Amino acid sequence: MMAGRKFNLSIAVVVVFFAFILGACEGNEFEEQNYSGSALGTSYHIKIFTGKEDLQIEKGLDSIFQVINQSMSTYWEESDISLINHGVDSIKVDENFKKVFKGSEKIYKETDGYFDPTVGNLVNAYGFGPDKSPEALNAATIDSLLQYVGLDKLKLTAEGRIKKENPQIYLDFNAIAKGYTIDVIAGYFENKGIYNYLIELGGELVSKGEHITKQKPFIVAIDDPLQEEGERTYQATLKLKNRAMATSGNYRKFRIDSITGERFVHTINPLTGKPERSNLLSASVLADNCMLADGYATAFMALGLEKAKELSSKLDNIDVYFIYSENDSTKVYVSEGFQETLITD
């Protein structure tokens, strides 16, 4: 799993284009409402079209963020996941935790362990966790940490408790929980009768319906991974309608081979415990929900280009846009379904 995808460290890989307008649909006034703020260690931007008033959206959002943090934030010392990581075995997890655990199990199995939320001890040891103090790692240290890695070493019991094979196993959902949070917000909107919206949280996105006035899908973009600090250049723009998109990548954290000129990044291989060189600079994923898009984007970065291409071609309702390095230039791999969403004009 790629190191560094935390609630408080989001990669700015997607920019959302907002237009401030009012619209009408089927004879009813639909007002555009925009909300933005900070949550889960990152920022969010939300656009909805609704004719309803006094929906208390901000209050609802605050409640959602509070619940998710209490359940799954490794940065909250008294959260359920933090207590579980510290060996408390009496915690009964909530439905949010259960859904993210089961979603993680699905991706873990499909990737043969390359996506693994128990890689947290290794992430922390390399200095990418809450502590951010890297250890001096050698083969013996890595081997000792690997005994605590493996989602199959955890079990979610019927009573809603997490049972560990070893109490030192460290569980970290930060590579998937942000996407799940967006799905929860989407469900909250639809329960309020809002069916035209765009949600962005830390670069991950979900859209439903369309831009009411233009009667067209929302337009989003993927950042150029080679842009310089302070720049904002885009690799591609696309129409996002009734789908989720997440992007994972080591933006501006690649190295250049002095001989070949090839750009490559390091990700932590949860099977070996060691950083591996990869020429896959970013992975953007379209899926039916943002939890899966988020998790698969992280998994593809860990798999590397060829394995990611192979796996993505076998998955239902998953479309991908990979940016990778080849010698001294960057290239893209685009699945057929993703290609259909791209704006080429």
| Cα distance between residue 312 and residue 144, in whole Å | 32
The annotated binding site is made up of 175, 294, 298
Both tokens of residue 329?
């230039």
| Cα distance between residue 196 and residue 203, in whole Å | 19
**Best CA proximity match to 335, nearest among 316, 218, 11:** 316
Check if the beta carbon of residue 332 is closer than 8 Å to that of residue 321: yes
CA distances from 124 to 76, 97, 121, 264, 289 (A): 16, 22, 5, 22, 29
The annotated binding site for Mg(2+) is made up of 175, 294, 298
**Best CA proximity match to 42, nearest among 10, 6, 82:** 10
CA distances from 23 to 64, 72, 196, 210 (A): 28, 38, 12, 11
Residue type for 35, please?
A: Y
